[in-house]
Amino acid sequence: QVAEAVAQPLLGTRRVTLVAGGSGDIGVSRLPGEILDVVTRLPAAVEALTGVSVTQVCPGPLRDRG
Protein backbone atom coordinates (compact mmCIF):
# COMPACT_ATOMS: atom_id res chain seq x y z
CA GLN A 1 0.00 0.00 0.00
CA VAL A 2 2.83 2.37 0.80
CA ALA A 3 4.62 1.63 -2.48
CA GLU A 4 1.35 2.17 -4.33
CA ALA A 5 0.85 5.56 -2.68
CA VAL A 6 4.42 6.62 -3.46
CA ALA A 7 4.12 5.50 -7.10
CA GLN A 8 0.60 6.90 -7.63
CA PRO A 9 1.77 10.37 -8.78
CA LEU A 10 3.87 8.73 -11.49
CA LEU A 11 0.82 7.28 -13.27
CA GLY A 12 0.13 10.48 -15.17
CA THR A 13 3.79 11.24 -15.80
CA ARG A 14 4.68 11.75 -19.44
CA ARG A 15 8.37 12.36 -18.96
CA VAL A 16 10.89 11.63 -16.21
CA THR A 17 14.30 13.26 -16.03
CA LEU A 18 16.74 11.50 -13.73
CA VAL A 19 19.88 13.19 -12.54
CA ALA A 20 22.47 10.89 -11.05
CA GLY A 21 25.95 11.23 -9.72
CA GLY A 22 28.46 8.77 -8.42
CA SER A 23 28.32 5.10 -9.25
CA GLY A 24 25.55 2.57 -9.74
CA ASP A 25 22.60 2.36 -12.06
CA ILE A 26 21.77 5.24 -14.37
CA GLY A 27 18.68 6.08 -16.38
CA VAL A 28 15.37 4.31 -16.04
CA SER A 29 16.96 1.30 -14.34
CA ARG A 30 17.56 3.56 -11.34
CA LEU A 31 13.86 4.42 -10.84
CA PRO A 32 12.74 1.23 -9.02
CA GLY A 33 15.61 1.63 -6.56
CA GLU A 34 14.68 5.26 -5.94
CA ILE A 35 11.05 4.31 -5.24
CA LEU A 36 12.17 1.53 -2.90
CA ASP A 37 14.43 4.00 -1.10
CA VAL A 38 11.50 6.39 -0.55
CA VAL A 39 9.25 3.58 0.70
CA THR A 40 11.98 2.33 3.06
CA ARG A 41 12.55 5.79 4.57
CA LEU A 42 8.89 6.78 4.77
CA PRO A 43 7.93 5.21 8.12
CA ALA A 44 10.80 6.92 9.96
CA ALA A 45 10.05 10.24 8.27
CA VAL A 46 6.35 10.07 9.18
CA GLU A 47 7.22 9.25 12.79
CA ALA A 48 9.78 12.08 12.99
CA LEU A 49 7.27 14.59 11.62
CA THR A 50 4.13 13.43 13.44
CA GLY A 51 5.22 11.31 16.38
CA VAL A 52 3.04 8.49 15.00
CA SER A 53 4.70 5.15 14.36
CA VAL A 54 3.44 3.82 11.02
CA THR A 55 4.55 0.32 11.95
CA GLN A 56 2.31 0.43 15.03
CA VAL A 57 -0.84 1.70 13.31
CA CYS A 58 -0.60 -0.27 10.03
CA PRO A 59 -1.36 -3.98 10.03
CA GLY A 60 0.60 -6.56 8.07
CA PRO A 61 4.13 -6.56 6.70
CA LEU A 62 5.07 -3.10 8.00
CA ARG A 63 4.39 -4.18 11.56
CA ASP A 64 6.48 -7.36 11.11
CA ARG A 65 9.51 -5.29 10.08
CA GLY A 66 9.19 -2.97 13.13
pLDDT in the model for residue 6: 73
Note the pLDDT of residue 37: 86
C-alpha torsion sign, points 19, 23, 24, 25: positive
What pLDDT is recorded for position 48?
Answer: 93
The answer to whether position 64 is within a domain reads: no
Query: Residue 62 domain-assigned?
Result: no
**Tens-of-pLDDT digits for all 66 residues of the chain?**
777 777 788 788 888 777 777 677 777 777 788 888 888 888 888 889 999 888 787 766 655 544
Q: In the chain, how many domains are there? A: 1
Count CB-CB contacts under 10 A for residue 43: 19
Domain extent, residue 47, equals 1-56
